[in-house]
Amino acid sequence: MSVFTAAADQSLCAPLPVLGEDVRVPLVTGGEVGYAALDYAASAPALKRVWDDVAAYAPYYGSVHRGAGYLSQLSTDLFESSRATVAEFLGCRPEDQVVFTRSTTDSLNLLAAALPADCQVFVFETEHHASLLPWRDARVTYLNAPRTPAQAVATLERALAEREPHGPALVCVTGASNVTGELWPVRELAAAAHSHGARIVLDAAQLAPHHPVDIAELDVDWVAFSGHKLYAPFGSGVLAGRADWLRDAEPYLAGGGASRTVARRTDGGVDVEWHTTAARHEAGSPNVIGVYSIASACKALTEAGFDRLVAREQHLVGEVLTGLAGVPEVKVLSLFGDDAPRVGVISFVVEGWNSSHFAAALSAEYGIGVRDGLFCAHPLVRTLLGSDPGEAGECGAPEAEPGERSLNAIRVSFGAGTPDEHVERFLRAVRELVSDGARWKYRTEDGRCVPDRGAAQV
C-alpha cells in the first residue's frame, strides 16, 4: 500500500489525547468557550503521552555523554536509544545517520553547510522558506510552480537534464505543502533526481505528522522534520539520511561533543580531530528532553496505527472541503486541483474579507485558532492568489484595513488530536461570518487585526 494512501476499510479512531484540549478562552462577545486549536501546521499540540514520558524522565535528568554518574549514563542511554527510535520511525537504512537539530529550518541549514563544493541545488518556488532559503552559498535553480504532480516531475527532469553533466547536485522538495496540504510525488521526484546523478532531501515537516515516512521506500537521500509539528514540545528537529556529505563537511558548530581530540601545536595553534558520526554536527550539550520527546511522539504515532490516523484525518479533510464548498464566497487554494490528495492543511480566501480580519473574528468571537498571512511561503501564496511572486510581504501581517482586499490567506490545519466538534464549530463560524458579518469592530494594531476593545458590539 502507498504510504500516501489510507486503507479504505480502516475504522476511524478517536482523537489522540493532547495537551490543551480542556483550555477555555474568553470571547469578545462575552463568556468563554473551549479553545479549538486548528493551527497544527504551525505547531501541533503536544501529545499527553509525550508530556507524561518527559515528566517521568525529568527527575533522572543528567548530562549526556562521558558522565560517570548514574543519571548521566541513564540520560546518555536515553539519548542514543531515542536516535534508534527515530531511525526506525523513518525507515532509515543501516548506513544512514540521524542528526538531532533544533528544527526543520536548522536541519536544512545544516545540510546546506555540508554541501560539496560547486554543488547545484534545485528547489521549487512553492517551498516553505525553511527549504527555499538555506542554499545561499550554492548555485541555486528555482523552479516554477507546477500545476500537476506530473508537471512537477517533468519540470525537474528538464532542469536536471540541462545542468552541467558533472559535479554534485541536490533537489529539495516538500512532502506535503504547508499552504495547501497537497501531497507531492516524492518517489517520482527521487527517481528523476537519481537518474540524473542528483541527490534529494525531503522536507517532511508537514508530512511526518500525518503519514508514515520511509526513507528507503521513498528512496530519498535525507529527511528533515521538526518535533513541534510532530506533537512534541518546541526545540528539537531531525536530519536523517546519507552520512558521506555530513561526514566530509566541517562541523556545523565547532565545540565540545563534535571533537574527538584537541591538542596544542608547537606553533601555538590547535589540532582537532572531529567525530565522523552524527556527533560531528551536535556540538554542545544536547537537548536530551527535546530528543526524547520526539522519540516518544514517534512511538505514540506508530502504536496508534498510521492507517487509522490517516483514515480519520481524511474524513475530517472531506468534511472541511465539503463544508467550505457550500459557501460560494470561499475559494480554497490549490496547485494540483480540488481532488488532489492532501493532509489536514487547507488554505482559503473569502470574498469581501481581509483574511486577517476573518481570522481575528474566528478567534475573538468563536474561540478558534487558525493562521492568516503568507505562511512563510510567499512565492507560493502569491502565485496562488494571482500576484507577482516577487512582490514583498511580511509573514502574517495584514496589508489592508479590515474589509479591504489584501494579499494573504487563511489556513486551517488539524491532525491526530482534533475532535470533530472543532471542525464543526469552524464550519459553522465560517457560514455565520460570511452570511451575517462580524459581531464586533476590529482595528489594526502592531500589524495585526484585533478586536477594538473600546468599541461596542456591532
pLDDT at 14: 82
> Are residues 193 and 201 in contact, defined by beta-carbon separation less than 8 angstroms?
no
| Straight-line distance from the first to the last Cα atom of the chain, in angstroms, rounded to the nearest whole number | 53
Catalytic residue among 298, 376, 395, 449: 376
> CB–CB of 310/211 below 8 Å?
yes
Q: What is residue 201's predicted lDDT score, i.e. its pLDDT?
A: 98
Q: What is the pLDDT of residue 7?
A: 38
**298 given a catalytic annotation:** no
* pLDDT number for residue 403: 46
Print burial letters for 228-263: b (CB count within 10 Å at least 16), e (below 16): bbbbbbebbbbbbbbbebbbebebbeeeebbbeeee
pTM of the complete model: 0.92
pLDDT of residue 390: 54
Q: Report mean pLDDT in 10-residue bins for the chain, 458 residues.
A: 37 85 96 98 97 96 88 95 98 97 97 95 96 92 96 97 88 98 98 97 98 97 98 94 96 92 92 93 93 98 95 97 97 95 97 94 98 93 78 47 66 97 98 96 89 75
